[in-house]
């Protein structure tokens, strides 16, 4: 059993959809309020970064489309880059935190919108096709 199958068994599409929504909501609220550079907000920024990173990595693993895998991987790289930049240049922490929140909110909302709870894998129904073999064997579902 591959990693995506194990993740789908544990993190069903419905659970993933709620996780993406929670990450997006937290990141959006943080972006609206703005994060300052005091110690408490460093932890808020870290939580947003970890949540956004996990959301993007999970999405990259379970998606079957190469372009979506690339997009989610790119988002994960941006999150890691922003966190690294924050520690390299603490003078820009406020701007970096707000950018981080916006990137995480957008990518998590995108993942939320793409997660379809009506399909077994969570892939959007428009991307799933079912082929019925003429010989009477059970149909197979593939992503187009």
pLDDT of residue 122: 81
Max CA pair span of the chain: 67
102 vs 143, higher pLDDT: 102
Cβ-contact 127, 46 below 8 angstroms: no
Q: What is the pTM (predicted TM-score) of this model?
A: 0.74
Q: How confident is the prediction for the chain on average, in pLDDT?
A: 81
pLDDT of residue 123: 79
pLDDT in tens, 37-70: 455 577 778 888 998 999 899 888 888 889 999 9
What average pLDDT does range 80-105 have in this prediction?
A: 87
Q: Is the pLDDT of residue 34 over 70?
A: no
Main-chain phi, psi angles of 102, to 5 degrees: -65, -45
Domain assignment of residue 37, given as a range: 3-143
* H-type alpha helices, 1-144: 3-10, 13-33, 39-62, 66-88, 93-114
Domain count of the fold of the chain: 1
pLDDT of residue 140: 57
Non-local CB neighbours of 29 within 8 Å, separated by 6+ positions: none
pLDDT of residue 37: 47
pLDDT of residue 126: 77
How far is residue 90 from each of residues 45, 85, 109, measured CA to CA in Å? 13, 8, 28
Degrees (nearest 5) of the Cα angle 90, 94, 97?
95
């Amino acid at each position: 059993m591959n990693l995506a199958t194990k993740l789908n068994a544990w993190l069903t599409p419905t659970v993933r959809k709620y996780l993406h929504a929670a990450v997006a909501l937290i990141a959006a609220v943080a972006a609206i309020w703005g994060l300052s550079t005091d110690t408490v907000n460093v932890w808020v920024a870290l939580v947003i970064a970890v949540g956004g990173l996990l959301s993007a990595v999970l999405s990259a693993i379970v998606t079957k489309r190469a372009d979506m895998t690339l997009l989610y991987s790119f988002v994960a790289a941006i999150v890691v880059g922003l966190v690294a930049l924050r520690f390299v240049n603490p003078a820009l922490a406020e701007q970096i935190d707000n950018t981080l929140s916006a990137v995480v909110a957008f990518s998590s909302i995108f993942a939320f919108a793409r997660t379809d709870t009506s399909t077994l894998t969570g892939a959007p129904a428009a991307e799933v096709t079912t082929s019925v073999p003429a010989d009477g064997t059970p149909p197979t579902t593939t992503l187009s």
